[in-house]
Amino acid sequence: MPASTLPGPPAPAPLDPGPLLAARARLAGVAHRTPVLRSSALDAALGAELFFKCENLQRVGAFKFRGAYNAISQRVAQAGGGGVVTHSSGNHAQGVALAARLLGVEATVVMPHDAPPEKRAAVEGYGARVVPCDAVDREVVCQGFVDQGLTLIHPYDDLDVIAGQGTASYELFEEVGPLDLLIAPVGGGGLISGATLAAAALSPACALVGVEPEGADDAGRSWREGRVVELEAVPRTEADGLRTRSIGAHNLRHMRAGVHQMLTVPDAALVEAMRLVFTRMKLVIEPSAAAPLAALLSGALPLRGERVGLLISGGNVGPERFAALAGQADASGS
């Protein structure tokens, strides 16, 4: 599927992969080089060669460790030490908590009251202080700690975070070569923003597609309109990792330069794709991570033998919730 066949920008804005290459060097020997897995059954069903980059097997169970470590390792050196703070519903929180511990700094994480309990427990297990709050207030609460002197590690609107996240896509291209299509779940936009840098470096003809849950389409609206669009309320979706109200300015610039299409999928499709990955590939992934496969299963991107990369963003879902969601999909007749 050539990029020219998809309707989106990209706008003619240059993308510099230099920061990604520097992040790759910092993360060498620290982040896991996660496997790329295949499924002959899914290849046959969808009529393409699919390559699953399994960041569910990354440290902390998600790609977020990459960006957090890359950012903290530089900020701490620049600031001469001191603590860091972030706001996150889970995966970025865990990435910051572990990266801070490895780098010998204190971390404070502002988390919504309704964040998945297994993610909060993991953050605390890595040694970070958790400050609970209402989801709509988390940025304000976080800013209060910045005003006290802590260094902000933004979950996605941060060039160092973006560069770190891009190393996942870079590894995928390194291992399998150029792709026709690369699909990523989109919450704040860090993963797909990093993917634009990796594609610019190693697979410039690759078309990039982002996928959001229905009702959480702030990134798609921003990408289409060329401005940051903020939703009125925090979206309600099973994909807790994609519940952002808006993407960041840095993310919008990268997406307008390198993303060719934005799609949405219903929660039921996310859950079914999650269940299918478990059934066919024996992988436990969270609903957010199932967005790329859900988009393909929807038929929104008809395939004719293309080489397609899918970024599997994380696997942080508790056993009880996973079983309940998988049972929900089964009960629906799938």
Express each pLDDT in 247-276 by its tens digit. Answer: 999 999 999 999 999 999 999 999 999 999
Backbone angles phi, psi at 108, to 5 degrees: -115, 130
Q: How far is CA 326 from CA 116, 189, 266, 323, in A?
A: 17, 27, 15, 5
The most confident of the ranges 11-15, 150-154, 239-243, 327-331 is 150-154
Q: CA-CA distance, 240 to 313, in Å (whole number)?
A: 12
- At residue 128, the pLDDT reads 95
Average pLDDT over residues 186-190: 96
CA angle 230/236/237 to nearest 5° reads 110
Confidence class of residue 19 from pLDDT cuts 50, 70 and 90? very high
State yes or no: pLDDT of 48 exceeds 50: yes
- Res. 137 pLDDT band, cuts 50 70 90: confident
Considering the entire predicted model, what is its pTM?
Answer: 0.92
Other beta carbons within 10 Å of 5? 9
Q: DSSP character for 311?
A: E
CA torsion, ordered 261, 266, 271, 277, to nearest 10 deg: -30
What tokens appear for 16 in the block?
């510099």
Residue 115's pLDDT is 79
Beta strands across the sheet bearing 151-152 = 129-133, 107-112, 84-87, 151-152
Residues 6+ apart with CB under 8 A from 11: 226, 256, 257
Q: How confident is the model at residue 83 (pLDDT cuts 50, 70, 90)?
A: very high
The domains located in the chain, with CATH, are 3-62+159-331 (3.40.50.1100), 64-152 (3.40.50.1100)
Report the pLDDT value the prediction gives residue 120, as an integer from 0 to 100: 87
Q: With cut-offs at 50, 70 and 90, classify the pLDDT of residue 334.
A: very low
Judge whether residue 192 has pLDDT over 60. yes
In which band, very low, low, confident or very high, does the pLDDT at 133 lie, cut at 50, 70 and 90? Answer: confident
Radius of gyration of the chain (CA): 18
State yes or no: pLDDT of 13 exceeds 80.
no
Long-range contacts of 282-285 (CB under 8 A, 24+ apart): 283/37, 283/52, 283/54, 283/56, 283/312, 283/315, 284/56, 284/315, 284/317, 284/322, 285/56, 285/312, 285/314, 285/315, 285/317
Tokens 């060719």 sit on residue: 260
Q: Token digits for 201? A: 């470096």
Amino acid 6: pLDDT = 64
Residue with tokens 């066919």: 280
319 confidence band (pLDDT: 50, 70, 90): confident
Two tokens, residue 292: 């790329």
168 has pLDDT over 50: yes
Cis peptide before 19 (omega within 30 of 0): no
How are beta strands 49-54 and 36-37 bridged, if at all? antiparallel
